[in-house]
Each structure stands twice: as structure tokens, then as C-alpha cells.
Amino acid sequence: MLELKNVTYKVEDKNGEKTIIDNLDLTIEDGKFVVITGQNGGGKSTLARLIMGINPVTSGQIIYDGQDITNLSITERANLGLSFAFQQPVRFKGIKVVDLLRLAAGEQLSVSEACNYLSNVGLCAREYIQREVNDSLSGGELKRIEIATLLARKTKFSIFDEPEAGIDLWSFNNLIRVFENIRETIHGTIMIISHQERILNIADEIIVIRDGKVANKGPKDIILPEILGTSMAQKTCEKIS
């Protein structure tokens, strides 16, 4: 279980101190498929980065499986079973895809095993397995390779920051199946930052973040109709104006 207790995150900008996450409390139960959504600039991606330790909290606590991880490094959190897929995946010049998958899995995967992970995210394994993770790959290709590494890690708590970004329609359809497969096979907790209705529609819980706080939280069947109703109202107002 993941618990955030009175978590605040502040930054300095040209106008002085700015609060991005504001005294936020949140609990995510084990084995849940949770989607974090809300308007741009509300603090969704920042929240994910705080959980993974990419950004340090200004105040408050982050508790994972009963352990205070507030001051732990990214590596220490990864060793506890947390993983993170960036909105803009990192490139690793000089490292081949097969080596990246082996590092993620923590074992000497066979080429066949590594290819299976690539196939699961819709990549032709023969074309990608020996390629370098560098600028020769598109953003969408990097995104799918990164998701394949999370599949290889089989972590207990996987965080995906807008995984649909830069992915074409066919790959997006496949991405939905990947998340469903993770849910069925790994039985870990999945947390996704997303606006996409199809991703929201396969969640157990939806958490709405607004102005650095939890504005709403609950089962998909309750929260999604409210979100869609708000979206329709906003579009109608824009047309009228």
C-alpha cells in the first residue's frame, strides 16, 4: 500500500515561491489499477515524480508497504518494487535494446525471452532487439521499449506518466491490451497519469488532481461519468462562446 501524508512540493520561480502539490493526502491500495487525471498544470506528473523520488518533497511523508520512503533515492525505491515510465523516455546511447531489457529483468534473458517483451508492446522483435536506444528511435518506439522494460521488471508498483503520448492509434489499442495483461499476470499496482477515456475506462479507481490537491477520488463507475459530464459541458460552452 502507498500512502502520502500531508505531502507538499514547492518550487522557486521568477514570482517567488510556488506550491505545486499542496498538503496532499492519498492512499492507493495494493493490486489496484488507478488512473490520475485532471487539468494540465494541476500537479499530476509532479505527484508521480514525488512518489518515485525524482523530485524531493518539501514536506510530508511517503509510506510504501509500511516503510517511510520519503528520503530514499530513486534506486532504493526501485529496489523496493517501484518503477516509473517517463512521459518522454530516456535515450541510452551505446546500450542495445536487449541489454536494457536484461538490466530491467535483473537476469540474463535469452534473446527469445527479450523478444517476447517487445512483441507484447507491438514491436517487431527482429528489427529492434539489437538496436541502440538512441536518437535513431522515434518517441513512440522509445515509449514502447520503456513499457517493455517495466514488463520485464515485474514490479509491484508501476507508474506510467501519460503512456499514450506520441503513440499512434494501432499502438494505443495495443497499449490498452498491455495494461490489461499486466493487471492479469503481475497482479501489482498500476498507476497511470492520463486524460484518455479508454484508459480511464479500465481503471479500478480514478483520482482527480486539481491545484495540487485531490479534488475527487473513487470507483471508475462513479467518477468517470462525472468527468465526462464536465468535459461535455465545457465543450458546449466553448461552442456557444
- Every domain of the chain and the residues it spans: 2-227
Q: Place 88 in a pLDDT band, splitting at 50, 70 and 90.
A: low
Overall average pLDDT of the 203-222 stretch: 95
Calculate what percentage of the chain has a pLDDT beyond 90.
Answer: 44
pLDDT of 236 = 35
Overall average pLDDT of the 150-162 stretch: 87
pLDDT of 217 = 95
Overall average pLDDT of the 45-57 stretch: 95
* Greater model confidence, 70 or 185: 70
Q: Can you read off the three cell numbers belonging to residue 199?
A: 484508459
Pick from 16, 32, 44: which is nearest to 179 by CA? Answer: 32
Overall average pLDDT of the 88-104 stretch: 83
Tell me the backbone φ, ψ of residue 156, rounded to 5 degrees.
Answer: -75, -25
Top-level CATH class of 2-227?
Answer: alpha beta
**C-alpha span between 64 and 151 (Å, rounded):** 21
pLDDT of 146 = 83
Q: Place 238 in a pLDDT band, splitting at 50, 70 and 90.
A: very low
**C-alpha span between 190 and 29 (Å, rounded):** 10
Q: Place 232 in a pLDDT band, splitting at 50, 70 and 90.
A: very low
